[in-house]
Amino acid sequence: MVTFQILPYLLEGTLKALQIFVLTLIFAVPLGIIVARLRQSTLKIIQLPIRFYLLIMRGTPLILQLIFFMYFPPFILNFPIDRFLAVILAFSLNYAAYFAEIFRGGLESIPRGQFEAGHVLGFSSGQTFTRIVLPQVIKRILPPSASEAMTLIKDTALAQIIGVAELFRAAQNSTSRLVSIEPIIAAGIIYLVLNSLVAIVFNRFEKKLSYYRH
Amino acid sequence: MASEMVLQVENIAKSFGKLEVLKAIDLTVHRGEVVVIIGPSGSGKSTLLRLINQLEQVDSGKVTVGGQILCENDAAGKAVYADKLTLKAIQLKIGLVFQNFNLFPHFSILRNITEAPIHVLGQDEKTANSKATAILNKLGLQDKAENFPFQLSGGQQQRAAIARALALEPTMLFFDEPTSALDPELTGEVLKVIRQLAAEHMTMVVVTHEMSFARELADRIIFMDQGVIIDAGTPDQVFNSKNERTRQFLRHYSA
Ligand SMILES: Nc1ncnc2c1ncn2[C@@H]1O[C@H](COP(=O)(O)OP(=O)(O)OP(=O)(O)O)[C@@H](O)[C@H]1O
Ligand SMILES: [Mg+2]
């Protein structure tokens, strides 16, 4: 069993993958909410750039975006960028686009009557959003958000393309160094465990919000 | 009636694109009065209520609520609205009960009722809760306070929606077809509540297709068709109207 030998190395990679995961969620979710609301603007000068951003982010490979954010700043803007920062930038902007569309779908599924009831009862539009609409949106978007989060766990493997030593890179290195398939299998198991945890967390949330129906 | 005017609508007009939905509408409501609006589908009844409730924008005309001007025409004859503070004050004077209740599904019935008093009027939770409980008692929903809307029948949900509107202590309550989404056997309990409010001299404007209810309850009936008021008067006057369109409509609905 070579796996025990390289386990610390794999765990280090896992930690890096988790950092990417957590930081991406921290930036992408709020950014996604903002983008979703801007996307609904009736003003063309707001809506069009947002649609363009959504198209670019969802229409090109994430791997390409990673390389772009790694090399665009040093070569074109003439300032070097930290690899890890480039990863967080690319992942956050990319995932914000997907979360924005999930969020917009959720927002549009809330009946107009909810907004109208809020308005008639004297709530400001901010209060109507945070107290009445947002909690209902969250319940509705939990299932697609869970899928997105699980995809993100797996996508962290792409960070290695610009030299960030996350779990996949660690496993691949060990596999070639030790001429053994075990590290790759171990990495697969770690991804599975991580995603099982993600699934469990989201299930908990869904259960917690199952006290009411729409 | 010689009592105080609580709502005055003067010559308002509203179009959606090319469609003229309301034309030259005048309406006055006095304190304690029950005004029932009837008319065929698409005649603009809901739009009229929604304009006064600020869910739609008036194109032209003047609306006064309890002495405060909601909107009036500028020199060019286009409606200009009051400042935000006035709009909010007017908003709180009028409660609106929707056809399909629009309760907040994620709040208990009690919280549906207390949320606005607490976060809009600034009542403390204890006061809001005890007031809400009193209203629930009155409307026969005392044992539903902790339930969620999906656990209630349609009739109970509509009564809860009425309770929610009452909690803001409005001077006037609007109903837009409050029983149209209910099974026939459930309309009675909602009509009973409205009757009870009428007996307490709550000022109400009710859009309904329940003609016998209109006849029984209304101080005044308004018949609208294609965006204009065709007929208005006491129930007896309207139900015995000489106007051909009114007669035709009533024949259709009493059948
Ligand atoms: N937001 C809107 N945009 C475009 N047209 C609208 C809108 N709201 C209402 N209308 C139109 O305005 C007309 C009047 O509608 P309104 O809902 O006021 O009628 P109503 O008298 O309440 O009818 P019903 O008895 O069916 O409820 C209808 O032709 C309707 O299609
Ligand atoms: Mg209507």
Residue A84 identity (one-letter amino acid): F
Q: Specify if A213 maps to a domain.
A: no
Q: Specify if A145 maps to a domain.
A: yes
> In the structure encoding, which two tokens stand for residue A201, read together?
């967390």
Tens of pLDDT, residue by residue over A77-99, are 888 889 999 999 999 999 999 99
Structure confidence at residue B255 (pLDDT): 55
Contact B55 A116 (CB under 8 A): yes
Structure confidence at residue B56 (pLDDT): 97
Q: Which residue of A has its CA nearest to B147?
A: A212
Q: Which residue of B has its CA nearest to A121?
A: B116
Count of helices and strands (H, E) across chain A: 9, 0
Q: Closest approach of chain B CAs to the CA of A140, in angstroms? A: 12
Contact A120 B53 (CB under 8 A): yes
Residue A95's nearest CA partner among A32, A40, A141 is: A32
Q: Whose CA is nearest to atom 16 of ligand 1?
A: B44
- What average pLDDT does the segment A47-73 reach? 95
By the 10 Å C-beta count (0-12 exposed, 13-18 middle, 19+ buried), A32 is classed as: buried
Instruction: Give the pLDDT band of residue A18 (cuts 50, 70, 90).
Output: very high
Residues of B in contact with A120 (CB under 8 A): 53-55, 91, 94-96
Q: Specify if A183 maps to a domain.
A: yes
Residues of B in contact with A211 (CB under 8 A): 148
The span from the CA of A102 to the CA of B38, in Å, is: 42
Instruction: Give the pLDDT band of residue B5 (cuts 50, 70, 90).
Output: very high
Q: How many CB atoms lie within 10 A of CB A22?
A: 11
Tens of pLDDT, residue by residue over B120-175, are 999 999 999 999 999 999 999 999 999 999 999 999 999 999 999 999 999 999 99
Whether residue B1 is predicted with pLDDT greater than 70 in this model: the reply is: no
Structure confidence at residue B3 (pLDDT): 77
Q: Specify if B234 maps to a domain.
A: yes
Q: Which residue of B has its CA nearest to A131?
A: B115
The span from the CA of B66 to the CA of B7, in Å, is: 6
Of B55, B106, B119, the CB nearest to A120: B55
Whether residue A150 is predicted with pLDDT greater than 90 in this model: the reply is: yes
**Do B210 and B182 meet the contact criterion of CB atoms below 8 Å apart?**
no
Q: Specify if A214 maps to a domain.
A: no
Distance B50 CA to ligand 1 centre (A): 10
Structure confidence at residue A1 (pLDDT): 67
Task: Report the domain count for chain B.
Answer: 1
DSSP category for residue A181 = S
Q: Specify if A100 maps to a domain.
A: yes
Residues of A in contact with B105 (CB under 8 A): 136, 212-214
Residue B95, chain A, CB below 8 Å: the answer is yes
Chain A interface residues facing chain B, Cβ-Cβ under 8 Å? 111, 113-114, 116-117, 119-123, 127, 131-132, 135-136, 139, 211-214
Of B91, B106, B119, the CB nearest to A136: B106
Contact A121 B115 (CB under 8 A): yes
Tell me the residue range of the domain where A186 lies.
3-208
Q: Closest approach of chain A CAs to the CA of B107, in angstroms? A: 8
CATH number for position A26:
1.10.3720.10
- What average pLDDT does the segment B19-48 reach? 97
**Do B168 and B88 meet the contact criterion of CB atoms below 8 Å apart?**
no
Give the torsion through C-alpha atoms of B225, B229, B234, B235, to 10 deg.
10
- pTM, entire model: 0.90
DSSP category for residue B180 = T
> In the structure encoding, which two tokens stand for residue A55, read together?
């198209």
Q: Specify if A63 maps to a domain.
A: yes
Tens of pLDDT, residue by residue over B99-130, are 999 999 999 999 999 999 999 999 999 999 99
Q: Specify if B75 maps to a domain.
A: no
Residues of chain B with pLDDT > 70, as a percent, come to: 98
In this structure, is the dihedral angle defined by the CA atoms of residues A61, A66, A67 and A72, taken in order, positive or negative? positive
Ligand 1 shell residues, CB under 6 Å: B 16, 19, 21, 39, 41-47
Ligand 1: which of B19, B50, B99 to mutate, judged by most atoms within 8 Å of the beta carbon? B19
Give me chain B's average pLDDT, please. Answer: 96
Structure confidence at residue A2 (pLDDT): 74
Residue B70 identity (one-letter amino acid): L
Q: Specify if B189 maps to a domain.
A: yes
Q: Which residue of A has its CA nearest to B88?
A: A122
Q: Specify if A32 maps to a domain.
A: yes
Count of helices and strands (H, E) across chain B: 9, 11
Contact A119 B54 (CB under 8 A): yes
Of B54, B55, B120, the CB nearest to A123: B120
Whether residue A211 is predicted with pLDDT greater than 70 in this model: the reply is: yes
Structure confidence at residue A78 (pLDDT): 81
3-state secondary structure at position B29: strand
Distance B91 CA to ligand 1 centre (A): 22
Place of tokens 């765990």: A11
Residues of B in contact with A114 (CB under 8 A): 102, 104
Computed on alpha carbons and rounded to an integer, the radius of gyration of chain A in Å comes to: 20
Residues of chain A with pLDDT > 90, as a percent, come to: 87
Report the DSSP beta bridge partners of residue B15.
Answer: B20
Residues 6+ apart with CB under 8 A from B241: B223, B231, B233, B247, B250
- Distance spanning both ends of chain B, measured CA to CA: 33
Contact A122 B103 (CB under 8 A): no
Task: Report the domain count for chain A.
Answer: 1
Q: Whose CA is nearest to atom 17 of ligand 1?
A: B46
Contact B106 A120 (CB under 8 A): no
Whether residue B216 is predicted with pLDDT greater than 60 in this model: the reply is: yes
Contact A117 B98 (CB under 8 A): yes
Tens of pLDDT, residue by residue over B51-87, are 999 999 999 999 999 999 999 999 999 999 999 999 9
- What average pLDDT does the segment B226-236 reach? 96
Give me chain A's average pLDDT, please. Answer: 94
**Do A198 and A154 meet the contact criterion of CB atoms below 8 Å apart?**
no
Tell me the residue range of the domain where B117 lies.
31-46+86-250
Structure confidence at residue A80 (pLDDT): 85
The span from the CA of B231 to the CA of A42, in Å, is: 40
Whether residue B32 is predicted with pLDDT greater than 60 in this model: the reply is: yes
Angle at which helices A182-208 and A134-155 cross, to 10°: 180
By the 10 Å C-beta count (0-12 exposed, 13-18 middle, 19+ buried), A79 is classed as: exposed
CATH number for position B168:
3.40.50.300
The span from the CA of B212 to the CA of B38, in Å, is: 12
Structure confidence at residue A81 (pLDDT): 87
